[in-house]
């Protein structure tokens, strides 16, 4: 846990938790089952996602997450869908493309770039690309 003093005489606590994310070129959104990973979110009826088992699950929240890759770079995921029934945390490669990132697949490794900077590395495990990150969560409290 990191503690940072802010100008408003409040203490900002930042906690980190390790998390595994999988790259999915076929998903429609970034998805997670972990509501506690969101730094901000909106509850509501955001539709459903179709699952691989021919079922569907409700999207109950949508919001923003802050991740830190093994490179030390911060990655802000916006419009992440909270789907309690999903097992894996999924990154949608098309959304990353739309946000100005580009990627390169080569020799069982996937690299995410922003300009010339390597933001994240993913390793191929069987048929999936996997990224280990730290989820950054901020909490405000009075000092």
Task: Identify each DSSP E strand in the chain by its residue range.
Answer: 2-5, 10-24, 31-32, 40-43, 48-50, 56-58, 61-69, 74-82, 89-92, 102-106, 109-114, 117-125, 128-142
- Selecting among 24, 36, 61, 97, the annotated active-site residue is 24
Task: Give the residue ranges of DSSP H helices in the chain.
Answer: 93-98
Residue 24 is among the residues annotated as catalytic for this protein: yes
Which residues are tagged catalytic? 24
């Amino acid at each position: 846990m990191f503690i940072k003093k802010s100008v408003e005489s409040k203490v900002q606590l930042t906690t980190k938790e390790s998390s595994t994310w999988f790259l999915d070129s076929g998903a429609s959104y970034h998805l997670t089952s972990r509501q506690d990973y969101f730094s901000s979110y909106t509850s509501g009826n955001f539709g459903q996602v179709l699952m691989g088992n021919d079922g569907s699950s409700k999207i109950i929240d949508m919001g923003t997450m802050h991740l830190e890759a093994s490179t030390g770079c911060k990655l802000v995921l916006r419009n992440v869908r909270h789907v309690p029934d999903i097992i894996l945390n999924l990154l949608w490669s098309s959304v990353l493309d739309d946000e100005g990132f580009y990627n390169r697949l080569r020799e069982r490794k996937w690299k995410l770039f922003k300009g010339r900077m390597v933001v994240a590395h993913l390793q191929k495990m069987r048929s999936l690309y996997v990224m280990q990150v730290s989820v950054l969560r901020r909490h405000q409290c009075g000092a």
